[in-house]
Structure 1
Amino acid sequence: MRFDPPTTPTVTNTDASGFPQLARSPLAFARSAPAFTRALAAAQPQPSGDLVVPAGLSASLSAGSAPVANAAPWNISVQAGQTLSGIVRDQMASRGVSISNNEAMRLSQSVARANNINNANLIHPGQRVSLDSLTPLVNQAQAAYNAKAVTAGNNNATTTALAGTAQVQLLSRIDRSNNPVLEKTIDRAVEKGFIPAQDKQAVMNKIVQLSEQHRFAPDDFARLTLMESDGMNPKASNSRCHGIIQFCDGPDRGAASAGFGANPKAILGHSVLKQLDMVDKYFEDTGLKNFGPVGLDDLYLTVLTPSARNETRPNVALNIPGQQAAYLHVNRDTRAPITRNSILAGLHQNANERLGTDVAQRNSLQAARMSAYAAQAVVTEVN
């Protein structure tokens, strides 16, 4: 795993992560009230795509204040580099409601259904998206905020406990229902003793957070670790590379990026949660999000040999030094080269074999920018 300095494109009117900046109201940076968390956790999706809060809860949250109605249609035009969950998070913030990445991911699924978008991960610049399905939750949040302002200081421990329970249940529903490969990989890691049972949900949440920050699919990260460390084994090592994504020795390699250049093997003494912090630093240093939305091949090449990302043709031999697993080669033949398509096929096959089941494949995140990746990965002959 070699470290290469990232190439940062020049952008205008965007924040540091490359997303367009949006105006925010004075409430944008306030955490959502516990009442809103309860409303979001209880909301049920309807066939129309709307989220409906049960009447009893709605009445209790808005007692003493009326919801604020937004009469004008809530539509946006997708800008280059945006994700649907990022749009949801920023648009909610622009109306005074701060939500977590996990909440944004759940709500983006509702928005996708309301707009007849088959894959929430695939939106395109210029596409018009209606966010009207979020209006009821914005009204509930604003009502909850007003109610909280009126009754400040009167919340008791029971209310706080209920809100906390709802938040945990919400995170569980989001992460486990949308990322089946990650779920199975983490369950397997707990069974094998790689992850303590009490860290299970925290690991899930951390990976989902990283996926939002660096713009890859959580299931793809699970596939990566199944190849590199048998599925998040923090003590995996081949004497040169160590940990869940195999941070390698050397001054310009992964261990150095993670802060362990002087003693790479010390990585093995850290938990999966701690190593995920190292993964975050490594992905930042290698400019992963500049390739986003990041497909499985670019995600894996970032770990294996970042410079190989420069070759974007799907069936051309990649310059990857050293001996690699047979799964990565064309037709699983170590005498054959490694290509982007052979990496995709190999990682899917390896994951299916280790997890003991075929997991339904989703459309590649790269389909929007390269038609060669639109279909399921297959092994092909090198041109």
Structure 2
Amino acid sequence: MASERIYLDYNAGAPLRMEARDALIEALSARGNASSVHAEGRAQRARIERARRQVGALVGASAENVVFTSGGTEANATVLSPRMRLGATEIAIDRLLVGASEHPSVLAGGRFAEDQIIRIPVDGDGVIDLEALGAELSAIAKAGERALVSLMLANNETGTIQPVAAVAALARSFGALVHTDAIQAAGRIPIDIGALGVDLLTLSAHKIGGPQGAGAIVFGGDLVRPLPLVTGGGQEKRHRAGTENVAAIVAFGAAAEAAVADLARAEEWRGWRDRIAASAAPAIVVGAGAERLPQTLCLAAEGFSAETLVIALDLEGVAISAGSACSSGKVGVSHVMKAMNLADSVAKSAVRVSFGWETGEKDILKFTEAWRRVMERRAPAVTRAA
């Protein structure tokens, strides 16, 4: 039965929180367009502005620096722009520098041409190579060009936390701008956009227990603004045209407020993560040498394929994933594993376990039991061949 299943795929999409569901239903019942000046319109506007404050608080930003979008992919596509406003001046961005293990929506480069995009390597734990980044930034600056660096705060597949503050300081020394995709980090680790020192930050509602179809761009200050991706209206202070999805935005705000409270569970989650890793031995923990999200674990069981593990655990009533949900249906090794230069036998067997606000200790125990049964029942092909 569905109620007996264990859901450990929060990084693909967290369950809808009760607070978000209630806010969503209440907003769906309301009348009016948030751009209208009558009482109903003003009430809708008030709902959006409350959500804006809630989402801003999740990352230490003021409400006026939050712009709502249809999701994280649109938010990333908007900020990855070769044209920006720096105060009242429009400037050109000549190069986009991205980490090699970024989410596909960042690797695609947004509005940058393919020949403007430079991928920066990561090490075996998925951490960006600061020396390589510095060399690229130096060369770009010497050529009289300006760069935008895009680096995720935490990887969606491995949980590896990137040194975003250090990257921002390095980039700024060469006159570059910085964006961080904080979609997986929100609600899992504390985020202060000011302390990170980035110009742009992006979020997605459904990763923190909000609805699918809502995201946000958060500005790090008063100066840097990408030119709008969606034009044709004055909504969102002309940063993103189109009638706001009030219900999704209101639910996003409720989820953001609830997600702040999740931070108190970080140590408990970290304990569960490490318990799973210990019980899954001799499976390899991908990214073990780096700081990682407390509720994300990437395991590789050599001799198995990732698809086999996902299906076998699904039959056991456990939902996990292999790679990014945004690349579902693909066959082959994750680009993240390739970027980390892992051995094929490791990369091909890597699966992700991720949990969150609805997870209990019994779920962790049931997963470890299911994993053990799969390992015992489906001996690796290399063992059978021997």
TM-score band w.r.t. shorter chain: under 0.3
Q: Which has the higher contact order (CA 8 A, sep 6+)?
A: 2
| Larger strand share, 1 or 2 | 2
Query: What is the TM-score normalised by the length of structure 1?
Result: 0.26
Higher helix share: 1
Please, what TM-score do these two structures have when normalized by structure 2? 0.26
